[in-house]
Amino acid sequence: MPTQIPALLIIDMQKGMASPAAGVRNNPQAERNIATLLQHWRARGATVVHVCHISRQPGSLFWPGQPGAEFQDALAPSPSAHVVEKNVTDAFINTGLERWLRVRGIDQLVIVGVSTNNSVESTARSAGNLGFETTVVADATFAFGKVDYAGVARTADDVHAMALSNLDGEYASIATTEQVLFSVTA
């Protein structure tokens, strides 16, 4: 049993992720599950970190000042939440996130957001490598369909499942929203 509630990292839940231009995705309930976890963390006064991607590519959905770079309204940070801006997939690279967590004695993380095979996976790998006890919430993350290196089209479900498989037991544990809520309430 954890002695404190882990920090909740909400990755890249920006308006651009809801754009049809982002592609075909899985887990249509992910935003609802993230909102449930966010409400749970806020009700307990637990640590929440919102991560947003700010692109370096002009024309990107996540270019500074574009509507796509803004947080989704239902998942926007509260005034007391910590916000991390990143320019690469990994929320630990060039952001000060590790130091911010360590100064506060936080060594447990629950990661949600998008996309499973990109920013979620790279952040979870770094978290695990840095020694954080990390959980990725499978039904509070989502991925987009993608063509693999061999030229085979993979569904969003396939991409999501493989990313979770890459993490499970190596860098993080994988859980559902219900399992996480039970573990932090118990």
Strand-pairing partners, residue 135, are 110, 173
Selected from 3.30.70.260, 3.40.50.12280, 3.40.50.850, 3.40.50.300, the CATH number assigned to the domain covering 7-184 reads 3.40.50.850
Q: What is the chain's mean pLDDT, rounded?
A: 94
Q: Are 53 and 86 in contact (CB under 8 A)?
A: yes
Per-residue pLDDT of 59-75, as tens digits, reads 888 988 888 999 999 99
Q: What is the pTM of this model?
A: 0.95
Domain extents for the chain? 7-184
Q: Are 33 and 177 in contact (CB under 8 A)?
A: yes
pLDDT over 90 (residue 2): no
Where residue 186 falls among pLDDT bands split at 50, 70, 90?
low
pLDDT value at residue 155: 97
Residue range 137-165: average pLDDT?
A: 97
pLDDT over 90 (residue 22): no
User: Which structure tokens are listed for 29?
Assistant: 């309930």
pLDDT over 90 (residue 185): no
9 CB burial (10 A radius; 0-12, 13-18, 19+): buried
